[in-house]
Amino acid sequence: MSGAGASAAERSLTELAGELAARYPRSAVVHEWLTVPGGSEKVVSSLLELLPAAELFVSVYDPRPWPSEITGRRVHPSFLSRLPFARTHYSRLLPLMDAAFRSFDLSGFDLIVSSNHASAKNVRTPPGAVHVCYCHTPMRYLWDPSFLAGEQLGRVGRLGFRAALPMLRRADLRGARQPTLFVANSTVVAERIAEHYGREAVVVHPPVDVEHFAGTPRSAAPDAPYLVFGRVVPYKRVDLAVAACERLGRPLIVAGDGRDLERVRAMAGPGTTFLGRVPDAAIPGLFASSRALLFPGEEDFGIVPVEAQAAGLPVIGNALGGVRDSVADGVSGVLYEDPSLDGLCSAIERFETLELADSGIRGNAERFGPARFRSEMTRVLLGAGGASS
């Protein structure tokens, strides 16, 4: 059949885009902000492949880091983008984000796809339009008290945030009524959507460029260092990885920078090496030469663990987050549920008793490729418009 019931995996992207364009003549993609490329922006890029004529709506827009696929289309920044400091301090504008997104006039659009981890879903859905929210997470600043525990807000900042919290939560809950359908990027995010918004969500994992890492040959020695890779910020718990390797006497490489770097560096011993930000071209080799990736933070999904597995690098991950979807325990790594230092140490010791096959590690990552994302999202978008599945 030619509708959503046909296997999207067997049809070309051009055919899928044509079917979506016929169903939704005018489409809009709404994203939090376009300033620094990251994981959520890879989702936006894949959505724009499916909706090549879509217009983009964002709170803050800096065109400099983006390819022509974005800069060559109509991009609508909100009034916040006119503020002189918006491009570099956009996170401080969170209290104004709801108003920014509600200021957009989306009348005339048939399909709205919001890419949300803060307020993008809060856009007003016009009558008759389909609004699909791809939710990276409900705003963690509002709903997860532990998320702010390591942030250096200061006494005044914390008091101000607590005072504004009820108003911000009301705006967030009002915005959660706008979408026709929620799509979560992981099982844990679907659970948060149900808990905080009372809405069910379909799970579609984000696209990961697994082929880029698939040809990387493993070169790690048995006593190779463990690896932490990514931004060094409080919620990623790099400090736990450092403390665990110090306790166990294992070498560790920390690759990345961020506002928590100096605190973590101060607690590290001689067995920990800090590389800072690693160029993209050096990442496959770093994965190849490491023993395992340590991932102790609670992530919404976590693209880095999938990239690591695609390169044959096992993952030791905190199963309270998105890695419980992406890591096969005992096949491509180790999952543990005790988020403490003791829990991570036990997980590392368990990992060292296992013999994991390279084929199992890489094979587990293959199910997260871009083609799978496009196929699943096409079925979701067509189904949200009333097509049979």
Look at the alpha carbons of 186, 97, 383, 68 in this order and tell me if their dihedral is positive or negative: negative
Residue 52 has pLDDT above 50, yes or no: yes
211-367, which class in CATH? alpha beta
Give the number of residues written for the chain: 389
Q: Alpha carbon of 321 to those of 295, 296, 309, 367: distances in Å? A: 10, 9, 17, 18
- 389 confidence band (pLDDT: 50, 70, 90): very low
For domain 8-207+369-384, give the CATH number: 3.40.50.2000
Contacts of residue 169, Cβ cutoff 8 Å, sequence gap at least 6: 142, 143
pLDDT digits (tens, 9 = 90+) for 199-242: 999 999 999 999 999 888 999 998 999 999 998 988 899 999 99
**Residue 203: strand pairing partners:** 184
DSSP letter string over 36-57?
S--HHHHHHHHHHHH-TT-EEE
Mean pLDDT, the chain, integer: 89
> Region 70-87: what's the mean pLDDT?
91
> Is a pLDDT exceeding 80 seen at residue 155?
no
Q: What number is the average pLDDT over the span 43-57?
A: 92
Q: Which letter does DSSP use for residue 389 in this model?
A: -
313-371 pLDDT tens trace:
999 999 988 999 999 999 999 999 999 999 999 999 999 999 999 999 999 999 999 98
Q: Residue 71: in which H helix or E strand, if any?
A: helix 68-71
- Cβ within 8 Å of residue 64, ≥6 positions away: none
Q: What is the pLDDT of residue 386?
A: 61
Amino acid 234: pLDDT: 87
- Confidence at 158, pLDDT banded by 50, 70, 90: low
In the prediction, which pLDDT does 252 show? Answer: 98
- CB 334: neighbour CB atoms within 10 A? 24
CB-based contact 298:339 (threshold 8 Å): yes
Which tens digit of pLDDT belongs to each residue from 100-144?
999 999 999 999 999 999 999 999 999 999 999 999 999 988 888
Separation in Å, CA 350 to CA 244, 316, 353, 379: 13, 10, 5, 40
Q: Which residues pair with 114 in a beta bridge?
A: 30, 133
- Hey, which residues does 116 pair with through a beta bridge? 135
Domain ranges of the chain: 8-207+369-384, 211-367
Using alpha carbons, list the distances in angstroms from residue 24 to 52, 125, 372. Answer: 12, 15, 22
Equal CATH topology for 8-207+369-384 and 211-367: yes
